[in-house]
A and B are shown apart, each in its own frame.
Chain A
Amino acid sequence: MQILLLASAVVGFGAGYVLGSFQMMILIYAGGVVLTTLVTIPNWPFFNRHPLKWLDPSEAEKHPKPQPQPQPQQPVSSKKKPSKK
Protein backbone atom coordinates (compact mmCIF):
# COMPACT_ATOMS: atom_id res chain seq x y z
CA MET A 1 0.00 0.00 0.00
CA GLN A 2 2.71 2.40 1.01
CA ILE A 3 4.78 1.64 -2.07
CA LEU A 4 1.76 2.17 -4.33
CA LEU A 5 0.97 5.52 -2.76
CA LEU A 6 4.56 6.73 -2.82
CA ALA A 7 4.98 5.64 -6.43
CA SER A 8 1.85 7.44 -7.56
CA ALA A 9 2.98 10.56 -5.69
CA VAL A 10 6.40 10.51 -7.35
CA VAL A 11 4.91 9.96 -10.80
CA GLY A 12 2.35 12.68 -10.14
CA PHE A 13 4.89 15.21 -8.96
CA GLY A 14 7.23 14.47 -11.84
CA ALA A 15 4.46 14.73 -14.41
CA GLY A 16 3.11 17.92 -12.89
CA TYR A 17 6.52 19.57 -12.74
CA VAL A 18 7.44 18.66 -16.31
CA LEU A 19 4.07 19.63 -17.74
CA GLY A 20 3.91 22.78 -15.61
CA SER A 21 0.47 21.80 -14.43
CA PHE A 22 -0.48 21.59 -10.75
CA GLN A 23 -3.82 20.10 -11.70
CA MET A 24 -2.15 17.19 -13.50
CA MET A 25 -0.13 16.34 -10.39
CA ILE A 26 -3.23 16.30 -8.20
CA LEU A 27 -5.22 14.24 -10.71
CA ILE A 28 -2.52 11.60 -11.13
CA TYR A 29 -2.04 11.36 -7.37
CA ALA A 30 -5.80 11.11 -6.75
CA GLY A 31 -5.97 8.35 -9.35
CA GLY A 32 -3.18 6.56 -7.52
CA VAL A 33 -4.98 6.87 -4.18
CA VAL A 34 -8.21 5.47 -5.64
CA LEU A 35 -6.29 2.56 -7.19
CA THR A 36 -4.60 1.81 -3.86
CA THR A 37 -7.97 1.94 -2.11
CA LEU A 38 -9.39 -0.61 -4.54
CA VAL A 39 -6.43 -2.93 -4.03
CA THR A 40 -6.07 -2.79 -0.24
CA ILE A 41 -9.43 -2.14 1.38
CA PRO A 42 -11.95 -4.68 0.07
CA ASN A 43 -11.59 -8.24 1.34
CA TRP A 44 -10.33 -9.83 -1.88
CA PRO A 45 -10.54 -13.65 -1.86
CA PHE A 46 -7.25 -14.15 -3.74
CA PHE A 47 -5.36 -12.72 -0.74
CA ASN A 48 -6.96 -15.51 1.36
CA ARG A 49 -6.04 -18.47 -0.87
CA HIS A 50 -3.59 -20.03 1.61
CA PRO A 51 -4.88 -19.10 5.05
CA LEU A 52 -2.83 -19.77 8.20
CA LYS A 53 -3.86 -22.94 10.00
CA TRP A 54 -4.68 -21.76 13.53
CA LEU A 55 -4.54 -24.25 16.41
CA ASP A 56 -7.81 -26.06 17.10
CA PRO A 57 -9.35 -24.95 20.48
CA SER A 58 -9.65 -28.54 21.80
CA GLU A 59 -5.89 -29.06 21.14
CA ALA A 60 -5.04 -25.80 22.92
CA GLU A 61 -6.69 -26.93 26.17
CA LYS A 62 -4.52 -30.07 26.33
CA HIS A 63 -1.32 -27.96 26.42
CA PRO A 64 -1.82 -25.11 28.93
CA LYS A 65 0.37 -22.00 28.72
CA PRO A 66 3.32 -22.21 31.15
CA GLN A 67 3.04 -19.79 34.16
CA PRO A 68 6.14 -17.66 35.00
CA GLN A 69 7.88 -18.74 38.33
CA PRO A 70 8.40 -15.90 40.86
CA GLN A 71 12.22 -15.18 41.12
CA PRO A 72 13.68 -15.08 44.68
CA GLN A 73 14.97 -11.51 45.51
CA GLN A 74 16.16 -12.15 49.18
CA PRO A 75 19.86 -13.07 48.61
CA VAL A 76 20.61 -9.88 46.61
CA SER A 77 19.14 -7.37 49.10
CA SER A 78 20.53 -9.08 52.24
CA LYS A 79 24.06 -8.83 50.78
CA LYS A 80 23.69 -5.08 50.20
CA LYS A 81 22.31 -4.17 53.66
CA PRO A 82 25.33 -5.21 55.80
CA SER A 83 27.77 -3.22 53.56
CA LYS A 84 25.72 0.02 53.99
CA LYS A 85 25.85 -0.31 57.79
Chain B
Amino acid sequence: MSTMKCDELEVVGGGAIITDWNDIPMELLLRIVSLLDDRTVIIASSVCSGWRYAICSGLSHISFSWCKNNMNSLVLSMAPKFKNLRGLILRQDKPQLVDYAVETIANNCHDLQEVDLSKSFKLSDRSLYALAHGCRSLIKLNISGCSSFSDIALAYLTGYCRKLKILNLCGCVKAASDKALKAIGYNCGELESLNLGWCEEVSDAGVMSLAFGCHDLRALDLCGCVLITDESVIALANNCRHLRSLGLYYCQNITDKAMYALAQSRVKNEDEVWESVKSRRYEEDEGLMNLNISQCTALTPPAVQALCDSFPALHTCPGRHSLIISGCLNLTSVHCACAFQAHRALNTLAHHAY
Protein backbone atom coordinates (compact mmCIF):
# COMPACT_ATOMS: atom_id res chain seq x y z
CA MET B 1 0.00 0.00 0.00
CA SER B 2 2.87 2.35 0.76
CA THR B 3 4.28 1.92 -2.73
CA MET B 4 1.19 3.45 -4.30
CA LYS B 5 2.10 6.93 -5.44
CA CYS B 6 -0.22 9.64 -6.57
CA ASP B 7 0.86 12.44 -8.90
CA GLU B 8 3.54 14.72 -7.57
CA LEU B 9 2.16 18.06 -6.64
CA GLU B 10 4.34 21.12 -6.29
CA VAL B 11 2.89 24.13 -4.55
CA VAL B 12 4.44 27.34 -5.87
CA GLY B 13 5.67 29.62 -3.10
CA GLY B 14 4.60 27.22 -0.37
CA GLY B 15 7.44 24.82 -0.90
CA ALA B 16 5.41 21.81 0.22
CA ILE B 17 5.58 18.75 -1.99
CA ILE B 18 3.04 16.00 -1.48
CA THR B 19 4.57 12.82 -2.81
CA ASP B 20 2.60 10.15 -1.02
CA TRP B 21 -1.15 9.67 -0.46
CA ASN B 22 -0.75 9.86 3.30
CA ASP B 23 1.18 13.13 3.26
CA ILE B 24 -2.02 15.06 2.77
CA PRO B 25 -2.28 17.88 5.35
CA MET B 26 -4.75 17.35 8.19
CA GLU B 27 -6.93 20.34 7.28
CA LEU B 28 -7.27 19.19 3.69
CA LEU B 29 -8.04 15.64 4.81
CA LEU B 30 -10.75 16.87 7.14
CA ARG B 31 -12.31 18.97 4.38
CA ILE B 32 -12.46 15.91 2.15
CA VAL B 33 -13.82 13.75 4.96
CA SER B 34 -16.54 16.30 5.68
CA LEU B 35 -18.00 15.49 2.25
CA LEU B 36 -18.28 11.78 3.02
CA ASP B 37 -21.25 9.95 4.55
CA ASP B 38 -20.86 8.96 8.20
CA ARG B 39 -20.19 5.28 7.66
CA THR B 40 -17.32 6.07 5.29
CA VAL B 41 -15.89 8.52 7.83
CA ILE B 42 -15.59 5.72 10.35
CA ILE B 43 -13.95 3.47 7.76
CA ALA B 44 -11.55 6.30 6.88
CA SER B 45 -10.53 6.64 10.50
CA SER B 46 -9.34 3.02 10.40
CA VAL B 47 -7.12 3.36 7.34
CA CYS B 48 -3.84 4.26 9.07
CA SER B 49 -2.67 5.86 12.28
CA GLY B 50 -2.15 9.28 10.66
CA TRP B 51 -5.68 9.42 9.34
CA ARG B 52 -7.03 8.06 12.60
CA TYR B 53 -5.31 10.82 14.53
CA ALA B 54 -6.50 13.49 12.10
CA ILE B 55 -10.11 12.35 11.93
CA CYS B 56 -10.49 11.55 15.60
CA SER B 57 -9.18 14.89 16.72
CA GLY B 58 -10.80 16.94 13.99
CA LEU B 59 -14.24 15.39 13.75
CA SER B 60 -16.94 17.51 15.36
CA HIS B 61 -20.26 16.02 14.26
CA ILE B 62 -21.28 12.50 13.38
CA SER B 63 -24.41 10.39 13.12
CA PHE B 64 -24.77 6.68 13.86
CA SER B 65 -28.42 6.48 12.82
CA TRP B 66 -27.55 4.50 9.69
CA CYS B 67 -26.42 1.61 11.92
CA LYS B 68 -29.40 -0.74 12.02
CA ASN B 69 -28.20 -3.60 14.17
CA ASN B 70 -24.98 -2.96 16.05
CA MET B 71 -25.24 0.58 17.27
CA ASN B 72 -24.15 -0.32 20.81
CA SER B 73 -20.92 -2.00 19.72
CA LEU B 74 -20.25 0.89 17.35
CA VAL B 75 -20.68 3.42 20.13
CA LEU B 76 -18.54 1.43 22.54
CA SER B 77 -15.66 1.27 20.08
CA MET B 78 -15.95 4.79 18.68
CA ALA B 79 -16.68 6.87 21.79
CA PRO B 80 -13.20 6.54 23.34
CA LYS B 81 -11.66 7.62 20.01
CA PHE B 82 -13.75 10.66 19.12
CA LYS B 83 -13.01 12.65 22.24
CA ASN B 84 -13.50 16.09 20.71
CA LEU B 85 -16.98 15.31 19.40
CA ARG B 86 -19.42 18.18 19.67
CA GLY B 87 -22.48 16.75 17.93
CA LEU B 88 -23.78 13.19 17.99
CA ILE B 89 -26.93 11.78 16.42
CA LEU B 90 -28.12 8.41 17.71
CA ARG B 91 -31.69 8.43 16.49
CA GLN B 92 -32.89 4.85 15.92
CA ASP B 93 -35.60 3.33 13.77
CA LYS B 94 -35.36 0.08 15.67
CA PRO B 95 -34.69 0.63 19.39
CA GLN B 96 -31.22 -0.70 20.17
CA LEU B 97 -29.28 1.74 22.32
CA VAL B 98 -28.70 0.71 25.93
CA ASP B 99 -27.65 2.69 29.00
CA TYR B 100 -24.09 1.37 29.00
CA ALA B 101 -23.46 2.89 25.58
CA VAL B 102 -24.67 6.32 26.70
CA GLU B 103 -22.57 6.07 29.84
CA THR B 104 -19.52 5.36 27.67
CA ILE B 105 -20.26 8.43 25.57
CA ALA B 106 -20.69 10.59 28.67
CA ASN B 107 -17.42 9.31 30.10
CA ASN B 108 -15.42 10.11 26.97
CA CYS B 109 -16.96 12.98 25.05
CA HIS B 110 -17.06 15.81 27.55
CA ASP B 111 -17.32 18.54 24.93
CA LEU B 112 -20.61 17.28 23.52
CA GLN B 113 -22.98 20.13 22.75
CA GLU B 114 -25.63 18.45 20.60
CA VAL B 115 -27.07 15.02 21.30
CA ASP B 116 -29.99 13.34 19.56
CA LEU B 117 -31.27 10.27 21.39
CA SER B 118 -34.73 10.25 19.85
CA LYS B 119 -36.73 7.02 19.80
CA SER B 120 -34.36 5.30 22.24
CA PHE B 121 -37.06 3.24 23.91
CA LYS B 122 -34.61 1.05 25.80
CA LEU B 123 -32.83 3.80 27.69
CA SER B 124 -33.55 4.35 31.37
CA ASP B 125 -32.79 7.18 33.79
CA ARG B 126 -29.22 5.91 34.10
CA SER B 127 -28.48 7.54 30.75
CA LEU B 128 -29.75 10.92 31.88
CA TYR B 129 -27.67 10.77 35.06
CA ALA B 130 -24.62 9.85 33.00
CA LEU B 131 -25.18 12.75 30.60
CA ALA B 132 -25.68 15.13 33.51
CA HIS B 133 -22.27 14.25 34.96
CA GLY B 134 -20.34 13.87 31.73
CA CYS B 135 -21.70 16.39 29.26
CA ARG B 136 -22.22 19.65 31.08
CA SER B 137 -21.80 21.76 27.95
CA LEU B 138 -24.97 20.41 26.37
CA ILE B 139 -26.76 23.03 24.32
CA LYS B 140 -29.10 20.92 22.22
CA LEU B 141 -30.76 17.74 23.49
CA ASN B 142 -33.38 15.66 21.75
CA ILE B 143 -34.96 12.86 23.78
CA SER B 144 -38.25 12.74 21.95
CA GLY B 145 -39.96 9.39 22.06
CA CYS B 146 -37.92 8.16 25.05
CA SER B 147 -40.91 7.09 27.08
CA SER B 148 -38.96 5.51 29.96
CA PHE B 149 -37.28 8.64 31.28
CA SER B 150 -38.71 10.00 34.52
CA ASP B 151 -39.17 13.63 35.51
CA ILE B 152 -36.77 13.29 38.45
CA ALA B 153 -33.92 12.31 36.13
CA LEU B 154 -34.74 15.10 33.70
CA ALA B 155 -34.83 17.66 36.51
CA TYR B 156 -31.47 16.32 37.72
CA LEU B 157 -29.99 16.77 34.25
CA THR B 158 -31.16 20.36 33.96
CA GLY B 159 -29.43 21.12 37.24
CA TYR B 160 -26.09 20.23 35.65
CA CYS B 161 -26.64 21.17 32.01
CA ARG B 162 -27.51 24.79 32.49
CA LYS B 163 -26.51 25.94 29.05
CA LEU B 164 -29.37 24.10 27.37
CA LYS B 165 -30.89 26.13 24.55
CA ILE B 166 -32.85 23.59 22.52
CA LEU B 167 -34.74 20.77 24.22
CA ASN B 168 -37.06 18.32 22.52
CA LEU B 169 -39.31 16.32 24.86
CA CYS B 170 -41.95 15.38 22.31
CA GLY B 171 -43.78 12.30 23.53
CA CYS B 172 -41.90 12.07 26.84
CA VAL B 173 -45.05 11.79 28.88
CA LYS B 174 -43.38 10.68 32.11
CA ALA B 175 -40.44 13.01 31.87
CA ALA B 176 -42.26 16.22 31.00
CA SER B 177 -44.26 16.81 34.14
CA ASP B 178 -44.86 20.09 35.92
CA LYS B 179 -42.08 19.17 38.36
CA ALA B 180 -39.59 18.86 35.53
CA LEU B 181 -40.78 22.09 33.94
CA LYS B 182 -40.25 23.91 37.23
CA ALA B 183 -36.68 22.60 37.27
CA ILE B 184 -36.15 23.69 33.67
CA GLY B 185 -37.50 27.15 34.44
CA TYR B 186 -35.22 27.40 37.46
CA ASN B 187 -32.03 26.04 35.89
CA CYS B 188 -32.05 26.64 32.15
CA GLY B 189 -32.39 30.39 31.84
CA GLU B 190 -30.95 30.42 28.31
CA LEU B 191 -33.58 28.06 26.91
CA GLU B 192 -34.76 29.16 23.47
CA SER B 193 -36.70 26.24 22.05
CA LEU B 194 -38.80 23.63 23.85
CA ASN B 195 -40.96 20.95 22.33
CA LEU B 196 -43.56 19.50 24.70
CA GLY B 197 -45.69 17.87 22.03
CA TRP B 198 -48.05 15.13 23.29
CA CYS B 199 -46.85 15.55 26.89
CA GLU B 200 -50.37 15.23 28.23
CA GLU B 201 -49.55 15.80 31.89
CA VAL B 202 -48.22 19.31 31.34
CA SER B 203 -50.51 21.82 33.01
CA ASP B 204 -50.61 25.56 33.64
CA ALA B 205 -48.37 25.34 36.71
CA GLY B 206 -45.53 23.89 34.68
CA VAL B 207 -45.81 26.27 31.74
CA MET B 208 -46.09 29.27 34.03
CA SER B 209 -42.90 28.36 35.92
CA LEU B 210 -41.27 27.90 32.52
CA ALA B 211 -42.42 31.35 31.42
CA PHE B 212 -41.15 32.96 34.62
CA GLY B 213 -37.75 31.31 34.35
CA CYS B 214 -36.94 31.22 30.65
CA HIS B 215 -37.26 34.76 29.39
CA ASP B 216 -35.41 34.01 26.17
CA LEU B 217 -37.91 31.42 25.00
CA ARG B 218 -38.45 31.75 21.27
CA ALA B 219 -40.26 28.57 20.28
CA LEU B 220 -42.65 26.48 22.35
CA ASP B 221 -44.71 23.59 21.09
CA LEU B 222 -47.62 22.52 23.30
CA CYS B 223 -49.21 20.30 20.68
CA GLY B 224 -51.64 17.91 22.36
CA CYS B 225 -51.10 19.31 25.88
CA VAL B 226 -54.80 19.19 26.60
CA LEU B 227 -54.68 20.50 30.17
CA ILE B 228 -53.32 23.91 29.14
CA THR B 229 -55.65 26.89 29.64
CA ASP B 230 -55.46 30.61 28.91
CA GLU B 231 -53.35 31.13 32.06
CA SER B 232 -50.34 29.52 30.39
CA VAL B 233 -50.60 31.64 27.27
CA ILE B 234 -51.05 34.83 29.30
CA ALA B 235 -47.94 34.00 31.34
CA LEU B 236 -45.98 33.37 28.13
CA ALA B 237 -47.24 36.58 26.55
CA ASN B 238 -46.18 38.66 29.55
CA ASN B 239 -42.81 37.06 30.28
CA CYS B 240 -41.36 35.71 27.05
CA ARG B 241 -40.90 38.83 24.95
CA HIS B 242 -38.97 37.03 22.24
CA LEU B 243 -41.57 34.35 21.55
CA ARG B 244 -41.65 33.69 17.81
CA SER B 245 -43.35 30.34 17.48
CA LEU B 246 -46.17 28.84 19.52
CA GLY B 247 -47.97 25.57 18.94
CA LEU B 248 -51.36 25.03 20.59
CA TYR B 249 -52.76 22.24 18.45
CA TYR B 250 -55.68 20.53 20.21
CA CYS B 251 -55.42 22.74 23.31
CA GLN B 252 -59.19 23.01 23.37
CA ASN B 253 -59.39 25.03 26.61
CA ILE B 254 -57.82 28.04 24.89
CA THR B 255 -60.28 30.90 24.48
CA ASP B 256 -60.22 34.44 23.07
CA LYS B 257 -58.71 35.66 26.34
CA ALA B 258 -55.40 34.08 25.38
CA MET B 259 -55.51 35.67 21.93
CA TYR B 260 -56.11 39.13 23.32
CA ALA B 261 -53.32 38.66 25.87
CA LEU B 262 -50.88 37.83 23.07
CA ALA B 263 -52.06 40.79 21.00
CA GLN B 264 -51.71 43.14 23.95
CA SER B 265 -48.21 41.95 24.81
CA ARG B 266 -47.18 43.52 21.52
CA VAL B 267 -48.58 46.85 22.60
CA LYS B 268 -46.78 46.64 25.93
CA ASN B 269 -43.60 46.32 23.94
CA GLU B 270 -44.23 49.84 22.62
CA ASP B 271 -40.87 51.27 23.67
CA GLU B 272 -39.07 48.45 21.90
CA VAL B 273 -41.26 48.86 18.82
CA TRP B 274 -40.36 52.55 18.51
CA GLU B 275 -36.70 51.63 18.88
CA SER B 276 -36.92 49.21 15.99
CA VAL B 277 -38.80 51.70 13.83
CA LYS B 278 -36.22 54.34 14.59
CA SER B 279 -33.39 52.04 13.64
CA ARG B 280 -35.38 51.16 10.52
CA ARG B 281 -35.56 47.47 11.27
CA TYR B 282 -38.42 45.74 9.53
CA GLU B 283 -41.32 45.37 11.94
CA GLU B 284 -41.98 41.85 10.86
CA ASP B 285 -38.80 40.71 12.64
CA GLU B 286 -40.42 41.28 16.00
CA GLY B 287 -43.24 39.32 17.49
CA LEU B 288 -44.98 36.07 16.80
CA MET B 289 -44.14 34.52 13.43
CA ASN B 290 -45.75 31.11 13.72
CA LEU B 291 -48.91 30.18 15.54
CA ASN B 292 -50.75 26.90 15.37
CA ILE B 293 -54.25 27.01 16.85
CA SER B 294 -55.67 24.07 14.92
CA GLN B 295 -58.67 22.42 16.58
CA CYS B 296 -58.94 25.20 19.17
CA THR B 297 -62.63 25.40 18.51
CA ALA B 298 -63.49 27.90 21.26
CA LEU B 299 -61.82 30.78 19.42
CA THR B 300 -63.86 33.40 17.58
CA PRO B 301 -62.97 35.50 14.50
CA PRO B 302 -62.65 38.95 16.16
CA ALA B 303 -60.01 37.73 18.62
CA VAL B 304 -57.93 35.86 16.05
CA GLN B 305 -58.19 38.76 13.60
CA ALA B 306 -56.95 41.14 16.31
CA LEU B 307 -53.99 38.82 16.83
CA CYS B 308 -53.29 38.67 13.11
CA ASP B 309 -53.37 42.46 12.94
CA SER B 310 -50.95 42.84 15.87
CA PHE B 311 -48.37 40.49 14.45
CA PRO B 312 -47.69 41.29 10.78
CA ALA B 313 -45.50 38.21 10.49
CA LEU B 314 -48.51 35.92 10.92
CA HIS B 315 -49.78 35.04 7.47
CA THR B 316 -52.84 33.26 6.14
CA CYS B 317 -51.89 33.84 2.49
CA PRO B 318 -50.99 30.74 0.47
CA GLY B 319 -47.35 31.66 -0.02
CA ARG B 320 -46.31 32.31 3.57
CA HIS B 321 -48.82 30.42 5.66
CA SER B 322 -47.82 30.73 9.32
CA LEU B 323 -51.12 31.10 11.17
CA ILE B 324 -52.54 27.60 11.08
CA ILE B 325 -56.22 27.28 11.90
CA SER B 326 -56.96 23.83 10.54
CA GLY B 327 -60.17 22.41 11.96
CA CYS B 328 -61.53 25.76 13.15
CA LEU B 329 -64.43 26.01 10.80
CA ASN B 330 -65.65 29.33 12.21
CA LEU B 331 -62.37 31.15 11.54
CA THR B 332 -62.47 31.15 7.75
CA SER B 333 -62.93 34.94 7.69
CA VAL B 334 -59.57 35.62 9.37
CA HIS B 335 -57.02 37.05 6.93
CA CYS B 336 -53.56 38.57 7.13
CA ALA B 337 -53.02 41.98 5.55
CA CYS B 338 -51.52 40.62 2.33
CA ALA B 339 -54.29 38.10 1.78
CA PHE B 340 -56.85 40.87 2.19
CA GLN B 341 -55.11 43.07 -0.37
CA ALA B 342 -54.84 40.26 -2.86
CA HIS B 343 -58.55 39.64 -2.43
CA ARG B 344 -59.32 43.29 -3.09
CA ALA B 345 -57.11 43.35 -6.20
CA LEU B 346 -58.95 40.37 -7.60
CA ASN B 347 -62.29 42.07 -6.99
CA THR B 348 -61.31 45.25 -8.83
CA LEU B 349 -60.12 43.21 -11.80
CA ALA B 350 -63.42 41.38 -11.94
CA HIS B 351 -65.28 44.66 -12.25
CA HIS B 352 -63.38 45.59 -15.40
CA ALA B 353 -63.90 42.34 -17.23
CA TYR B 354 -67.42 42.16 -18.51
Q: Do A and B bind each other?
A: no
